[in-house]
Structure 1
């Protein structure tokens, strides 16, 4: 229960004040902390412009809290009256990690274990929980995502699938909402996460105005930003197939030909591709074609028909359909993005 000074009016059915607890571990990504503060502060200001009380009161917790309190406080003044209130929302800040080994090491630290206990208790109380990028691993480790849909950063998706098979991972999605849990993709997807939270608690009008004030475009998929070569690099056989395929895209490749280029039997190749990239061989080949098609759209004036031919499609309609599904837009959208 919030203190009386924090419980305010309501706006079109949305509670006017939510206690948000920002969990910051040591080594947190500064941008995720700043993004959280800036978006929530903007939502509060937009509410104030409508003559309404602030929507969010924020406190900072966790092993890295001391180092960022001044940053958060500069845009969201601290409110002592919420110090002991149960949070309505917990947001876990992303961590600076660039290798799978670094993620494992970070999950093994004592402060991460404490965070897992905090998240498990909060989930049991019905608290809304949100995270993006590598921070989604903390939610999964706490059991918060068991049986739920979620997303995480594209480059950690294969590792996430191996570690948490009980979670239904949608690695292409920018933001996934499942009940009281919201997850988002790679680091800058934290912006999309925060807009989803603002929409949930303030309504679409405030969320849309936040996006406009902050010059944010809606992005439903992170697949366009995936670097397939980075994922493939985890397995030398997959690297061999990838390099060969990039040079042969126009020839109408088959999965069997890819496997042969990798020096593997088709079934073995499928297992290796899935482990390295989280994709099936067909999806792997489609992603290679999409990457090349987007590159040609962005850097040349070639017709869609010619680009389709260069990436192995006889019909441009097939390429258009694939681009809309995998890259989030048609050729014209991507060429002028």
Structure 2
């Protein structure tokens, strides 16, 4: 039996904590119904006071539900708070004792602050990705991914990625078959990327210069322009522009432009009856095959999917 401690902090996202317990309880019920032992023993550790102790000896996994913050200022204040600093120490001690760690959304910052992600691959919620990249340069951040299971540490993206993270936990500790059965009972579809949900306008708006660049791209989206043209229009060198885009959006200039082209194409597919070939030209691609390939790469969906 895998012993799991759910580390819950004040202000945690109620949905994230509930998802954690629901998936593990479902895994236990499904296993028992099949005549097998329950695979998980779950306890909750509330990190609300100074007397909170580390997870019990022999804990196999510590799960941290998402923190309930939605701005950079709130997040930075939260991770500097005494209870979060205490949680970081508890997590570091648990990792040294051999426990695996899993966290999603803003809680991934607790792992990074504790140094547990240094040299590892990880993900986080997409709108905090630029801050994460600037703050933790020793972490290989895979922003597009919903779950990065670099065991003994696994991380998840935005809030509802806790569901995907917990299915990864079930697969790791109790088998892929049980994880698939849980997904069926909970009516969950397979997802691998946050990219379809990333709002480029939200990210670009954090830097006036990049917001201006986004507007320029949208005005010129039908043109076949070079990144050098875009950088020049912003009165920047290509290198400076690339650095600003990466810091603000977590994207290269090429992917920044591509994301806007695909977002525009998606809007036209969903709101007009224009042929795909025409829409491809409207967003700067010479043919529909290029649009199909890039759209599938970025969104895991085809133009036909959006049109339906």
Whether the TM-score (by the shorter chain) exceeds 0.5 is yes
Partners of 1:245 and 1:253 within 8 A in 2: no
Shift of 1:133: 0.7
Check if 1:33 corresponds to 2:5: no
Give the alignment's Cα RMSD to 1 decimal: 1.6
**Which runs of no fewer than 5 residues in structure 2 stay unpaired?**
50-54
C-alpha distance in structure 2 between counterparts of 1:301 and 1:205, whole Å: 42
State which drifts further: 310-319 or 56-65.
56-65
Query: Among residues 137, 160, 176, which one is paired with 2:148 in the alignment?
Result: 176
Cα distance, 1:84 vs structure 2? 4.4
Aligned to 1:230: 202
1:237, 1:263 within 8 Å by CA — same for their partners in 2? no
* C-alpha deviation, 1:64, in angstroms: 4.8
1:18 is displaced (CA, Å) by: 1.3
- Residue 156 (str. 1) matches residue 128 (str. 2): yes
Aligned residue for 1:59, secondary structure, equals strand
Cα displacement string for residues 40-88 of structure 1 (whole angstroms, at most 9, x for unaligned residues): 11111100110112111211113359xxxxxxxxxxxxxxxxx945311
Distance in 2 between the 1:189 and 1:264 partners? 37
Runs of 4 or more consecutive aligned structure 1 residues displaced over 4 Å after TM superposition: none
Secondary structure of the equivalent of 2:101?
Answer: strand
1:62 counterpart = 2:46:
yes
Does 2:85 align with 1:113?
yes
* Alignment partner, residue 92 of structure 1: 64
8 Å CA contact 1:22–1:61 kept in 2: the answer is yes
What TM-score do you get using the length of structure 1 for normalisation? 0.86
Write the deviation string for residues 142-172 of structure 1: whole angstroms up to 9, x where unpaired.
Answer: 1111111000011111111111111111001
Distance 1:196 1:335 in 2: 32
Q: Which residue of 2 aligns with 1:72?
A: none
Change (3 A) 1:55 1:334: farther
d(CA) in 1 for partners of 2:154, 2:272:
38
Instruction: Quote the residue 1:42 is aligned against.
Output: 26
Equivalent-residue separation in structure 1 for 2:118 and 2:239 (angstroms): 29
Match of 2:52 in 1: none
Matches within 5 A, 1:1-337: 17-64=1-48, 84-336=56-308
Once the two structures are superposed, residues 86-133 of structure 1 have per-residue CA deviations (whole angstroms, 9 ceiling, x without a partner) of 311100111111111111111111111111111111111221110111
The question of whether the paired residues in 1 share the 8 Å contact of 2:227 and 2:254 is answered with yes
Query: How does the TM-score come out when normalised to structure 2?
Result: 0.94
In structure 1, C-alpha distance between the alignment counterparts of 2:307 and 2:181, rounded to whole Å: 27
SS in structure 2 of the partner of residue 317 of structure 1? helix
Query: Counterpart of 2:300 in 1: which secondary structure?
Result: coil
In structure 2, C-alpha distance between the alignment counterparts of 1:264 and 1:186, rounded to whole Å: 32
| CA–CA separation in structure 2 for the residues paired with 1:225 and 1:295 | 14
SS class of match (1:250): coil
Return the alpha-carbon distance in structure 2 between the equivalents of residues 325 and 251 of structure 1. Answer: 22
Alignment partners' CA distance in 2, 1:211 and 1:245: 40
Q: CA deviation at 1:237?
A: 0.9
Output the CA distance in 1 between the equivalents of 2:119 and 2:135: 14
Change beyond 3 A, Cα 1:148–1:84: closer
- For structure 1, the 5+ residue unaligned runs are 1-16, 66-82
Once residues 322 and 171 of structure 1 are traced to their aligned partners in structure 2, the CA distance between those partners, rounded to angstroms, is 18
